[in-house]
Structure formats: structure tokens, C-alpha cells
Chains A and B, each alone.
Chain A
Amino acid sequence: MIRRILAACLVFLTLALSAQAQDRTIQDVLQEHAEAIVKSSRTTIGPAIEAVANSGQPSAQTVLQKWQNKDMWQWSENGFFYAATVDGSEITLTDFDTGDIVATVAKGDVTQLKPNSGIRAMIGAALVQFQLNDPDAERRREALLAIQRDGEASHLAPLRASIETEDNPDIKALKEVTERLLTISFDKDDARRIAAIEGFAASLSLDARAALNPVLSAKLVYAEDLPETANIKREIKPGSEALSVSDAFALMVSAGAATAQPTLSERKSALTEHIIDGKVGGVPVAELTRQDARDHAYQALASEGLVPAFDPAFSMEAAVKGVRFAEVYDEPSAAVTDAAQKTLHTINRAVGVNQFLDLSLDGLSLASIYFLAAIGLAITFGVMGVINMAHGEFIMMGAYTGYVVQQIIPDYTISILVAIPMAFAVTFAAGVAMERLIIRWLYNRPLETLLATFGVSIALQQIAKNIFGTQARPLTSPGWLDGALVFNDVLAISYIRIAIFVLALIFLGIFLFIMKKTRLGLETRAVTQNPRMAASMGINPDRVNMLTFGLGSGIAGVAGVAIGLYAKVTSEMGTDYIVQSFMTVVVGGVGNIWGTLLGALGIGFLQKGIEWFNPSNTLAAQTYMIIFIIIFIQFRPKGIIALKGRAAGD
């Protein structure tokens, strides 16, 4: 009892306090509409929601939210509405205006307001204006994005109202875009819709296209008895790609303009149902192995009236011939659809240009990957003429080195910086070992080199499998390489790809520097061109070959780290790159780094181009690309940049 009095006092006190601050409280507004609120009927609740929303009270938004979430309860003691939190059988009531806890009561003393989903949607629409006018800009942005995703006609009015008062220019622009999207979809006035549609002509966003596409949605119809007012997109001939003969006939049937003939399977089941003494319509069942016999039997049944009639001479082609079919817009206004069509066309052209640029960027990054994979080969195969089938496995070793380093050093930035020289060191050592142990015995015997290094390749692959298992190991890139450089909705490139591109450029630079400016490069070129002469001039060909091969292998290892960031690290990753790498070097022209660069660019762009024609199928793209390369080599057997004359050595 004492508690109740205390509570009542408290209520009085708070009422008095708030009355001091403002003339009206939200509770007053609620009480004014208490009857409608409690009744909770969709037809009568409108004014109540409006009153709360337009009350101008700071707590109006809270009230609506609580109400919508079924967290608003009415206390039978005084008939007031409170926000409530339920704790077991006890319920704590909080005043909306002050935020003070009013009382803790038993469940029986309060009634929960349970608005149905229709009312909740109305409350939701009313809430939008609060979100749109929220003092926190980030909240406003979120609300706008939510509307863009999932807009409703009711959002339109509050959105328009909120544009005027918006002072953040970014948000204002966003609001205007959102307003146009909503206008296109929900406004009643065609002129405004057309204006909104045309406002998107310069936009690339997916949302603009998403808003325009439903305006342009159309369906195929039987067009003979179409009303005058129908907004026809185009007339369609049956038997064309857009409308098959059987679909056209189905349209006629559903429009009541033709009678469907029983289908093959319907006729078959009809025959099955009418088997009498091993015969159907006088035809023995055993003879029904041919369609004409079946038709004959069915005809017999039909003439007895046992099954629906079937005309064997019937042809759908004849039935649909001369009949008009059309594609009709769902949108009745031709002006709107025309505007949308035109705008979409403009957008699509701009999107097309950007997609082309995006594709070019994709091609460029693929080219950098091929170039990275091939540049080591450009040294070992291109300059030295050694065919190393284990090159792919050196790439794999580099990638696994990166993986192991990441296991030891948890910081991804530092671990990548450590991994690159480590990978170089490991594969350099492996390359030198292989050169010393195997390749130097096989110089000038490329086919044997091919097979011996292939032996090394399968051994390395299996060893990697034994150590690291068969599942793919991740090589995580540092956080600052996450994400993408976004130009617009269509055009974007991930930072990893940019990094790989930069790495490829760096390697090109390193290669050129070593080959053209250093002693090793000079000696390498001397030894590959004429080993005896080089030896007689004091160059140690063994040492030069060893270092050059090590260098090529080391670069393969670093490429492995880069490729590992972009693709999965498995023991078989080398085989994915080896053929492509050789192709790159061969297409470009052996012995010329610029050729390798051109080869990588050509193959990268070509593959992306083919994928563009047939986006669903990268396997097919690879197949066609290889066929293209085989044909290319017909015309330029020595590659894009070919050595000529006697130097070509043929």
C-alpha cells in the first residue's frame, strides 16, 4: 500500500516537474488518444500515431519505437502508458517524458499494447521522419540506405519534408537521390516520375538501375484483344527467340483463344487407362511401340467420346500463325516507360564504358600475375635456354615459405616483408642446388632437361603434400591491402591487385637493371651467347650459370608469395601456372623481357576478353585461349618479338 502511495506521489511529482518545463507532455497526447490506442484498430489508429509523431516532444520517437516493439504497457492504476521492462513476473514501468522509473508492478496490474503488423508498419513509417531528422548524421545515412534498399510509398512524404532542413551536403545529396528513387516507384504524378527518372541519366549506381527496371517490367501476352490503353513495348512474332511457338500457343490457350490439345504424356496416360483385354481402341498393346499406332488407338478412343478430341493434323505453328503477340509494360504510362527506357539506355552506355575499363583493369592485373609467374622463366628459359618444369614448384615453395613465416610472425605486414626475402633465399638456394646437381649436366639437351626437371617437380609436389597436407593454406595479406580502390559502382580494383601490379613493375625494373647494368647481366648474356668465348675471356661460366639460374628461381619464389596472397596455397598450385608461364614466354618471344611483358599482357587481356563473352565459364575461356595461342604460334612461331637472322640460330 505504502509502495503504491509512494509511486503515486512519484508520478505526481514527475508530472508536476514536466508540466513546469513544458505545457504538454507526451503522456497528455497519449491520453488524448488513449481510446484509439487501446482499441488498436488499423482504421482508427492513424490520428493517434500522427498526433504522437507530430507532438514535437523529444520523447515522441521513443514512444513510437516502444510501441512498435510491443514494449508500451498501460497501467490500470491510472490508465497511463509507460515503457516497460519485464523481469519474470515483475514489470518495471518507465515514464516516457522523464525516463524515470515509475514503479515496479505485478503483471496483472498492467496491460501490454499489442499493435498488429499493419499498425506496426504505420508506426514504422511515422518513425522514418525521426530517423531522417536524427541529429546523428550517421543514423540519417543508415536510415536513407535502408529506404533505398526497401522503400515504401509512405516514406516519400517524410523524406521530402526532411530535405529542406538538411544541412549536411552529403546527406542532402543522398536524400535527393533517395527521394528520386521513391518518386519513380511510388509517386502518383507521372510528370514528377519522369523528372525523377531523367535525373538519373548521369548515374551509374545499381540502385538507379534497380529503380528503373521494375518500371520497365513487361510480360508477354496474347495481343489480339488488348485494350487500347495498353502500354505496348513491342510486338513479337511467335517462333522468335523471345517467344517460342509452344509458349505462344500456351498464351493463346490461357487467354481462351484456343483449345489445348492433349499432350503426348496425357494421351499416353489416357491410353493406359483404357486398356481392355490387352487392346486399346482395338489396337493390341504390343503394337503401341510407334507413335502413329498410338495416335491411331487414341483416335479410336476419341471417336467413342472416351477421351478429349485430338487432331493429329494439328500444328501449333499453324495455330499461332498470324496471331498478334506483344510484350506489354506493367506500367500503364507510355511517357514514363519511354523516359525510363531512354535513361536506362544512357546509363547502360555509361556502365558499358565503365565495365570495359573494369575489364581492362582485370586484364591488367591478370597480366601482372602471369608476368610475375613468367619473369623467372624469362631468365631461366628465355635467357639461359634451360627449360625448368619445376618452375611452378619454385612458385609453390615461395608461397609456402610465406605461409611458414606467417606462422612464426603474427603481424601480417612484418611477416610479408620478411617473407619476400626469405622466399627469395629459399628458392634461390633450391635453384642453385638444382643447377649444380642436375641441369649443368644437361646443357644443350633441352628435352632431357625437361624430363629431369619434371622428375624434380613431381618429387617437390609430393614432398609439399607430405609436409603441409592436401588442404589449401591461407596466406593472409596485411590489413592495409584489404578492400578496393572504388571509382564508382562499376569500376573498382582491389588493393592486392594493385600491389601485384606494382610488384610486377618492380620486377621488370630489377630484371632490366640486372641484365643491362650489372656485371652479372653482362656475363650472363656473354655466357649464353657463346660460353667458350666467355670462358676464354675470364668469365667462369659455371658460376654465372649457377647465379643466373638461382636468380630466376628466386624471382619465382617471390612471385609465389604474391600469388599466394591472391590465390590459395596448395601443393599443386605450381601446375596451374607452369603451362601459362611457358606460353607467356613463348608467345612473347624467347630471350626478350619486353616480349614476355607483351605476352603476359596479351594473354591476360585475351583471357578476360573471352571471359567477358562467356562469363559463366572460365574453363572454356582457358580452353579457347590456349587454342588461340596455338594458332598464334602458327603465324609468329618465334613470338611477338622475334630474333632475326643468324642470331635466331635455326
Chain B
Amino acid sequence: MSQLLEVSGVSVSFDGFKAINNLSFSIGPAEMRAIIGPNGAGKTTFMDIVTGKTKPDEGSVLWGDMSKNLIGMNEAKIARIGIGRKFQRPTVFEDQSVFENLLMAVKNDRSPWSVLFFKPKFKDLAKVEELASEIGLSDQLERKSGELSHGQKQWLEIGMLLAQDPQLLLVDEPAAGMTLGEREHTTDILKEAAKTRAVVVVEHDMDFVRRLECKVTVLHEGSVLAEGSLDHVTQNKDVIDVYLGR
């Protein structure tokens, strides 16, 4: 099976500190993957590199069947070819309504000129409705997103992520600040998404990771420490040493 994203030999350092050290990672087109690791392991920096926010010092990031090199492309372009990202802190446009937030994310031509003369078509509205019901915000469409609760914002952001219709989702701590019920719902959404696309979830909460029922990659000091099923990696001595603790 050809890989959707292939990261190989990537390193990056900030003022001498190696945040990512010769990291290699790959994921297939319809796969769920969880990334765990202690603080400072390079999880966020890894996402920064894939989404174009940080330029690596060396290594390559290849995308899709055509093996397109992502290094050197800007964030917007990477987002347009199908990589969506959800941040650790929920970042939605607080001054704008839920509807506006979702509509902005729905996949359409992104050039300034066509955005200026954009009129939402029926399918766009339908898509917004569908996503809103999926993330449980159907009643809140006209509310300003700044007034939503923390969990609702998280969902709105996941909704925006899905609206972009990406082939790869990078999700940073989606369950933070959610109640148990909300977490289960989030798990369902992600699992559903992973049927048709690749999903990478960064999470600290082991129970949440277990519920995802997927392959796990453990990062430590900027490189892969272990990879495999959750049970497999939790047995790993190194992982226990550096992360799980005895």
C-alpha cells in the first residue's frame, strides 16, 4: 500500500536545541494513528513541519501518490492540497458566528477574487447544516462562536476541519476540556473520519487513545521511540522509562 504521507530523516533545531532529530514517520490513506510522548518530545513541532509552519533543517516530507515534496510550500498551499490541522487550544474566529466559521472552512475556491463574489450555493449550505448537526451545534449557528463553551469550540474546530474535506487530519489534543460523553462523541467522529482519510491524533489521555483502537507512535526527544499497538508500546521498556513511568 502506498503511503499518503512519508516523513523521512527530518531534523530541526532551535538555537542548538534539537527539537526533532532524524524523525521518520509514515501513514496510509485511510488510517488512524495516535501519537503520544512526554512534553517536549516534538509532537507539536512535528505537526508544524508537516503543515509548513516550520522549515526543517534537513530531511524530506513527501505527500500523496505523486510524492510531492511539501518542504518549502506555505501553510495555505499545504492546507489546500488536503492537510487539515486542529490546534491544541481551540482556535475559532470568536467574533464571527458559527455559521460564518463553518462556511469559511467549506471546501471551495480560495482565491481572493472568487471569495469576493462568492454566493453560498445549496450544497454549501447543506454541508454546513450537516456538519453542524454532526458536531451538535445546529441550534447555535447564529451565535457568535466566542460565546460557546470550551468543548463546543473544540467541536466547532473539528467541524471546520471536516468542512475542509482534507485527506489528512492532524488533531492536537481534541479531547482536552471535554466531559466523558463529549469525548465519546469526539471518538466517534474521528473514527468515522478515519474510514475515508488519514487521521493523526496527538493525545495524552491514555483512555482516549485506547478507545481510538489504532496504531500508536511514541515520540521521545524528537525521534520515534516505539511504534505499534497500544498494548505493544506500553509493554516497551523504553517507553515505560521515559513516559509512562513505573
Contact = CB atoms under 8 A, between A and B. Distances in A.
Interface of A: 644-647
Nearest to A646: B14
A529 to B, nearest CB: 15
Given A645-B19, A646-B14, 4 more contacts: A644-B14, A644-B15, A645-B15, A647-B14
Nearest to B48: A646
B113 interface: no
Contacts, number: 9
Nearest to A650: B53
Interface string B12-36: 0011010100000000000000000
A523 B59 CA distance: 41
Nearest to A643: B15
A304 to B, nearest CB: 71
Contacts of A645: 14-15, 17, 19
A226 B14 CA distance: 76
Contacts of A647: 14-15
9 contacts: A644-B14, A644-B15, A645-B14, A645-B15, A645-B17, A645-B19, A646-B14, A647-B14, A647-B15
Nearest to B45: A646
A646 B40 CA distance: 12
A602 B19 CA distance: 34
Q: What range describes how many residues of B lie at the interface?
A: under 10
Q: Is chain A's binding surface mostly helix, strand, loop or mixed?
A: helix
A646 B15 CA distance: 10
B18 to A, nearest CB: 11
Contacts of A646: 14
A644 B54 CA distance: 11
Nearest to A645: B14
A645 B54 CA distance: 9
A644 B15 CA distance: 6
A513 B236 CA distance: 52
Contacts of B17: 645
B42 to A, nearest CB: 12
Contacts of B14: 644-647
A170 B65 CA distance: 89
Closest 3 CB pairs of A and B: A645-B14, A644-B15, A644-B14
B53 to A, nearest CB: 9
A647 B19 CA distance: 13
A646 B19 CA distance: 10
A347 B121 CA distance: 81
B238 to A, nearest CB: 26
A644 B55 CA distance: 12
Interface in B106-156: none
Contacts of B15: 644-645, 647
B45 to A, nearest CB: 9
Nearest to A648: B14
Nearest to B44: A646
A210 B19 CA distance: 68
A645 B17 CA distance: 9
A647 B15 CA distance: 10
Of listed A644, A645, A647, residue having the most chain B CB within 10 A? A645
A370 B15 CA distance: 30
Interface string B210-242: 000000000000000000000000000000000
A328 to B, nearest CB: 65
Nearest to B14: A645
A182 B14 CA distance: 71
A644 B14 CA distance: 6
A40 B219 CA distance: 114
Interface string B163-186: 000000000000000000000000
Contacts of B19: 645
A342 B56 CA distance: 60
A217 B15 CA distance: 63
Nearest to B19: A645
A647 B17 CA distance: 12
Interface string B31-67: 0000000000000000000000000000000000000
A158 B17 CA distance: 82
A499 to B, nearest CB: 39
Contacts of A644: 14-15
B56 to A, nearest CB: 13
A125 B15 CA distance: 78
A646 B45 CA distance: 10
B3 to A, nearest CB: 29
A593 B14 CA distance: 21
A645 B14 CA distance: 5
A628 to B, nearest CB: 26
A592 to B, nearest CB: 13
A346 to B, nearest CB: 52
A521 B149 CA distance: 40
B41 to A, nearest CB: 14
A447 to B, nearest CB: 16
A641 to B, nearest CB: 12
B48 to A, nearest CB: 10
A646 B17 CA distance: 11
A645 B15 CA distance: 7
A636 to B, nearest CB: 15
B87 to A, nearest CB: 14
Nearest to B13: A645
A646 B14 CA distance: 8
A606 B19 CA distance: 38
Nearest to B53: A650
A228 to B, nearest CB: 73
B13 to A, nearest CB: 8
A76 to B, nearest CB: 104
A644 B17 CA distance: 11
A645 B57 CA distance: 12
A645 B55 CA distance: 11
A646 B20 CA distance: 13
A427 B17 CA distance: 42
